[in-house]
A and B are shown apart, each in its own frame.
Chain A
Amino acid sequence: MMQFLFTLPFLSVLLGAFVLMLFSHKKSISLKSFNYISIFFLTIALIFEYLTLGAGSSYLFESIFSKLFILDDFATLFDMMFTLGAILTLLINSDYFKSRTYFTGEYFSLLLFSVFGMMMLSHAHELLTAFISLEIASLSVYALVGYHKNKKVSSEAMMKYMVLGSLTGAFFILGTAMIYGAVGSTTLENIALYVDNSKIEDMTLLVVGASFLMITILFKIGAVPFHSWVVDVYHGAPYPITMFMASTFKIAIFAIALRLYIVDFATINSFWRELLQAVTILTLIGGSLLAISQSLVKRMLAGSSIVHSGYLLIGLSSIGLGSDIAAPAVMFYLIAYFLSAVGSFGILSFIASQSKRQMSYDDFKGFASRRPYMALMMTIFMLSLAGFPSTIGFLGKFYIFTSAIESGQILLAGLGILTAFISVYYYFKLIAMMYFFESETGGKKTFPINASTIVIAMMALIVVWGGIGSSLFGYLPGADGFIDLAKQAITSLK
C-alpha cells in the first residue's frame, strides 16, 4: 500500500498526460482549461511527493520491477523540482499562451510526458531505464522546441537538437553496452558492487563505458565542446520551453549524473579528474565568451546557462576529489539556479506575451520607467545569476567555490571567480539598460496582477530570502533550509 502511495506522483502525471492527449483535439475546451487541468494533475503529484519526502529508501514494486526504480529522498526532491518547474512554467506563461495562436492541447500533454520522463530518470536505478526515461523526456522536449511549426527558427532548433541529441544518445547506449559487458548487469547496485571490488586496472571496459555515459550528460547540460546547440535551441524554442529547458530539464540531467557519480563511480571518480577539469575550464570560458557577445537577452541567458553548467561541473569534479560539501553544494546550486532562471525567463516570457519583438538589450531601454516592479524583479534575478551577495545565487557560488577549494582545485575556484566577474558585466548590462536609459516607447504601465506576475514576484522574494533569510528569523526556512534539504537528499543516496 505504501508503495502505491509512492507511485501516485507518477500515475498522476501520466494520467494527466493521457487525459490531455485524449481531449486535445476537442475544440470546445479552451487552452485555459487545459492549463488548469495540467496544473491540477501536477499539483496532486507535488503534494504526494511532499508527503513521501523523508520516507527512507526502497525499491518501487520490487517484485514486479526488480530494482529498476529506487525510491529515496534524493529522487523525491528532484521530482518536486520537476513538478514545481512544470507548474511554474505553466502558471507564468498563462499570458503567453493566450498571445500566441499556435498553442494547442497537445502542448500540455507533451509537457507532462516530459515531466514523467524526468521523474523516471531521477528514480532510475538501472542504465537502460535511465536511457528510456531520458529519451521520453528528450523526445517530448524536442517536439516542444519545434512547437511553433510555421516558424523557421523554431523548426530549425528542433532539428538541430534532435539530430545532435540522438547522436550523443547513441553514446549512452554504447556506454551501457560496454558496462554490461564488464559487469554482466546494468543495475546501478551491481555496477557499484563491481566497482568497489575491482582494481582500476581491471576495469578498462567499464571506465570507457562510463566515459561514454558522461558524453550524453555533458551534452545535455551544454558543456563545451558539446555546447554548440544550446544558444540556437534556446533561441528558437518558444519562451515557455526555453524556460522549461533551462530550469527543469537541465536539473533532470544532474539527477542521473549525481546518482551515477556518487553511488557508482565514487571510488574511481578521481580517474576523470583531468578530463572533468579540462571540460570545466572550457565550459566556463566558452560560456562566458558566448554570453558576452550576444545582443539578444534570450541568447545571453542561453550562453550564461552554459557558464552555470560550468559551475555545476566544478562541483561535480570536487565530489570526485573528496569534498564533503560538494554534493550538497551542487544540489543547492541547482535550486538557486532553478529559482533565478525560472524568474528571469518568466519575465522575458511575460514581456514577450505583450509584444512580438525579439528582445535585445536595446529593447530594455527605459524598462524601469515603464514597468518599475518588473524591472526590480528582473534586477533581483540578474543579481542572483551574477552571484551578488544577499541573493541565493551568491550562496550557491559560495558553496561551489568552497567545495572546489576544499578539494584542492584552487585554479578552478579562481577561474570560477573570474568568470563570475565577467558575468557581472553581461548581467549588469541589462540592469543598466533598464535603469539608465530613457524609455523610447510609451509611458508607465500598471503592474498587472495575475497568476504570472504573482508567481514571478514570489520567486523574487524567495531568491532574496534564500540569500539572507536564516535561523535569525524564526521558523521560515531560508538559506539554511535549502542546504539542509540538499544535505538530506544527498545522505539518502549513500
Chain B
Amino acid sequence: MTNHILTSIIFLPLLIAMVLGVARASIKVIKVAAILSSLTILLLVIAVILAFDPNQGMQFTQNLAWIKNAGITYNIGLDALSLIILILIAILMPLIYIYMLKDNRKGYWYNMLLLQTGVTGALLSLDLILFYLFWETMLLPIFVMIGKYGNGLRQYNSMKILLMTVLGSMSMLFSILYMGYIYFEATGTWSFALSDLSSIDLSAKASIWLMAGFLLAFAIKIPLVGFHTWMAPAYGSAPTPAVIIMSAIMAKLGVYGIWRFGYGLFGANLHYYAPTIIILALIGLLYYAIRAITENNLRKMFAYSSGSHLSLIALGIFLTNIYAWGGSLYFIATHAIASAGMFMMIGLTYYRFKTVNISELGGIAQKAPLFTFFFAFFALSIAGLPGTGGFVAELLIIIGAFKENFIIGVFTATTMLSAMIYIFWMLQRVLFGEVTNENSEYSDLSLREIGMLLPLVLLLLITGIMPSLFIPYFEPQLLGALQ
C-alpha cells in the first residue's frame, strides 16, 4: 500500500476524469465524483503525513522502469518540501470544488481534475523527463481554462502564458537532455533520474549554461521580474479556480523546482546565480508592489502582489541559512493559503457585483459585514498581519536576510512594508466609502461560502500563532541540506 500511495494520489483525478469522460457522465455525477476524489486524496495525504518521518530524506519512493531504451523511469518520492506543497494541494482542492459547486460547465470540472494530476505529478516526480512531462501537461488545463472559460482578451492571454512558459520549459528540456547525455558519456547508460544525474561532476562552465536552462523555466513560472508579462493578463483573464491554482500551487512549483532540481543537480554551483536572483527578487518585490498600487483590477492587483511575495520566497531560497530557508518554506504554505482565500473573495466579489474593478466597487462594509471581515482578513494576511502565518514567514526571511548581509536585510525589511500601501488603500476604496453599486442587490456570505473560507482563516491563524507545530517537520531536512 505505501508503495502505491503517491501513485494513487497523482493519478486518481486523471482516472476519474477518464472514467467520467468515457461514461459521458452528467454534471451532477461529475461534481460528486470530483469532490469525492479530492476528499479521498485528502485522506491519503493525511495518511502520508502520519507515516512521514521528518528525519529521513526521500520517502514513499517508487521506482519502475518506464521507457527502458531511453533510461526514463517512473520515479516518484516525497520529502518535507514536497510534503508541504502536497498538503496545500490536498487542502485547497476540496475548497476549490466547493467554490465551483454552482458551475455547470463540464469542461471546467474536467480541467480541474486534470490540473490536479498535473501539479501533483510535477511535485512528486524524481525523474527529470517525468517531471518535464507533468510540468508541460499541467499547462494544458490552464491554457484551456483561460482560453475557453476566461474573460477579457482570453484567447490572446492564454496563448501568451502558453508560449512564455513553453519557452522556459523548452530551455529546461535542453538542459535535461544535455545532462542525460553527460551521464551517458560517463557511465554508458542512459538515465534521467535525479539521484543519478546529481552524482555527475560538471565542469563549472557547463553547469552555468545548464543551470540557466533550468532557472529560465522556473523564473518564468514564478515569475521573477522581467519574465512576468504573462502574469497580470493571465491572472486577469483566468477564472477563479485557475487563478487559485496558478498563484497558490503553480508559482510555488517554480520555487520548488529551484530547490529540487537547482540545488539537487548543481548543489553549491547554483550560487553562481545567487547575486542575480537576489537582485532580481529585491527589484521584483518593490517593482510589483509599486505596480500594484495603481492597478484597478483586483485580480491583476493580487497577481502583482503574488509576484511580489514569490520574489520574496525566491530570495529566501537563495539566502543559504536556516532562517531564510525555513521562512521561505513557511511562506510557500501561508501565502498559498492566503492568496487562495483572497482570490476566492475576489471571485465572490465578481459573483456579486459582476466587476472586479476597484473604481466600480465601494461601501461593501455597510451592507455585508461578514463579507467585509473575510475580505479584509485575507488581504491583511497577505500583507503580513501579525498573528497570521505570513507574518512569521516574513519575519524569518528578514532575519535570514540580515544574517546574510546587512544591506540585503535592510532592503528586504523596507520592501516588506510596500505591501501595506496598496492593500490598505485598496481596502479603503473597496470596502468603505460611497456605495457605488446602489442598484445591485447583494447578499452577505452564504453558509457554503463561509464553509469554504473558514478553514483557510483557521489555518492562517494556527500557522501564525503556533509555528512550532509545523517547523519540526521540515527543519531536519533543511539543516541536513545546509551541511
Query: Is B167 engaged at the interface, CB distance under 8 Å to the other chain?
Result: yes
Q: Which of B64, B163, B174 contacts A424 (CB 8 A)?
A: B163
Main SS at interface, chain A: helix
> In the complex the two chains form, is B181's CB within 8 Å of A471's CB?
no
* A436 x B154 contact (CB < 8 A): yes
Which residues of the partner chain B approach A435 to less than 8 Å between Cβ atoms?
144, 147-148
Contact residue among A402, A420, A428, A471 (Cβ-Cβ distance under 8 Å from B170): A420
Q: How far is the CB of B327 from chain A (nearest CB, A)?
A: 34
Please, how many angstroms separate the alpha-carbon atoms of A398 and B148 in the complex?
A: 30
Contact between A389 and B65, CB atoms less than 8 A apart: no
Segment of A170-178, A245-253, A476-484 engaged in the interface with chain B? A476-484
Q: Tell whether B448 is near chain A: CB-to-CB under 8 Å.
A: no
Chain A 456-493 interface residues, beta-carbon cutoff 8 Å to B: 470-472, 479-480, 483-484, 487
Q: Give the chain A neighbours of B374 by CB distance below 8 A.
A: none
Closest CB in chain A relative to B135 CB, distance in Å? 8
Identify whether the interface residues of B are mostly helix, strand, loop, or mixed: helix
For residue B102, CB closer than 8 A to chain A, the reply is no
Residues B166 and A417 in contact, CB atoms below 8 Å apart: no
Does B482 sit at the interface, judged by CB under 8 A? no
Query: In the complex, A421 Cα to B148 Cα: how many Å?
Result: 22
B64 near A472 with CB under 8 A, answer: yes
Question: Is the CB–CB distance between B147 and A432 below 8 Å?
Answer: yes
Contact check, A437 vs B174: say whether CB atoms are below 8 A apart.
Answer: no
The answer, among A388, A405, A471, for a CB contact under 8 Å with B178, is A405
Q: Contact string, A365-405, partner B, CB cutoff 8 A, digits 1/0?
A: 00000000000000000000000111000110011011001
**B211 CB → nearest A CB, Å:** 16
**Chain B 132-156: CB-based contact to A (< 8 A → 1; otherwise 0):** 1100110010011001100000110
B177–A428 touching, CB < 8 Å: no
Q: Are B70 and A398 in contact (CB under 8 A)?
A: yes
Known: A390-B133, A436-B158, A483-B69. A401 touches B177 (CB 8 A): yes
Across-interface contacts of B132 in A (CB, < 8 A): 389
Task: Flag if B155 contacts A436 (CB, 8 Å).
Answer: yes
A418 engages B159 (CB within 8 Å):
no
Q: B159 contacts A428, CB within 8 Å?
A: yes
CB-CB under 8 A from B155, the residues of chain A are 432, 436-437
A389 touches B133 (CB 8 A): yes
Contacts A402-B181, A405-B181, A432-B147 given; does A414 touch B174 at CB 8 Å: yes
B180 within 8 A of partner (CB) = yes
Return chain B residues, CB-CB under 8 Å to A472: 64-66, 74
Interface residues on A, range: 20 to 34
User: Are the CB atoms of A417 and B173 closer together than 8 Å?
Assistant: yes
Instruction: Tell whether A233 is near chain B: CB-to-CB under 8 Å.
Output: no
| A425: interface (CB < 8 Å) | yes
Which residues of A lie under 8 Å from residue B166 when comparing CB positions? 421, 424
A319 at the interface (CB under 8 A from B): no
Q: Do A395 and B67 have beta carbons less than 8 Å apart?
A: yes
Do the beta carbons of A424 and B162 come within 8 Å of each other? yes
Judge if B184 is at the interface, Cβ distance under 8 Å.
Answer: yes
- Shortest CB distance A392–B (Å): 11
Query: Which residues of chain B from 160 to 213 have any CB-CB distance to chain A below 8 Å in the complex?
Result: 162-163, 166-167, 170-171, 173-174, 177-178, 180-181, 184, 190
Q: Does A363 contact B (CB under 8 A)?
A: no
- List residues of chain A with CB within 8 A of the CB of B143: 428
Rounded to whole angstroms, the CA-CA distance of A471 and B140 in the bound complex is 26
* Nearest Cβ on chain A to B408's Cβ, whole angstroms: 35
CA–CA, A454 and B166, complex, Å:
32
Query: Nearest Cβ distance between residue B25 and chain A, in whole angstroms?
Result: 14
Contact of B66 among A399, A418, A470 (CB under 8 A): A470
Within 8 Å of chain B (Cβ to Cβ): is A362?
Answer: no
Please name all residues of chain B whose beta carbon is closer than 8 Å to the beta carbon of A410 when the two chains form the complex.
178
**Nearest neighbor of B143 in chain A, beta-carbon distance:** A428
Does A413 lie at the interface of the complex (its beta carbon under 8 Å from any beta carbon of B)?
Answer: yes
Determine whether the beta carbon of B180 is less than 8 Å from that of A402.
Answer: yes
Kindly identify, within residues 164 to 197 of chain A, every residue whose CB is under 8 Å from any CB belonging to chain B: none
Are the CB atoms of A398 and B177 closer together than 8 Å? yes
A417 and B174 form a contact (CB under 8 A): yes
The verdict on A406 contacting chain B, using a C-beta distance below 8 Å, is: yes
Q: A395-B70, A399-B70, A421-B167 are in contact. Are A389 and B159 (CB under 8 A)?
A: no
Q: In the complex, what distance in Å separates the CA atom of A484 from the CA atom of B178?
A: 23
Nearest Cβ in chain B — how far from A483, in angstroms? Answer: 5
CA distance A395 to B190 in the complex (A): 14
The answer to whether A405 touches B158 (Cβ under 8 A) is no
Within 8 Å by CB of B67, from A420, A421, A432, A480, lies: A480
Residues of B close to A390: CB separation below 8 A:
133, 137
B25-75 CB contacts (< 8 Å) to partner A: 64-70, 74
Knowing A436-B147, A470-B67 are in contact, say whether A402-B158 is a contact too (CB < 8 A): no
28 CB-based A-B contacts, threshold 8 Å: A389-B133, A389-B136, A395-B67, A395-B70, A398-B70, A398-B129, A401-B174, A401-B177, A402-B180, A402-B181, A405-B178, A413-B174, A417-B174, A418-B170, A421-B163, A421-B166, A424-B162, A425-B159, A432-B147, A436-B148, A436-B154, A470-B66, A470-B68, A471-B67, A472-B65, A472-B74, A480-B68, A480-B69
Known: A402-B70, A472-B66. 17 other contacts (CB 8 A): A389-B137, A394-B133, A395-B67, A395-B70, A398-B177, A402-B181, A406-B184, A414-B174, A417-B170, A425-B163, A428-B143, A432-B155, A432-B159, A470-B68, A472-B64, A483-B69, A484-B69
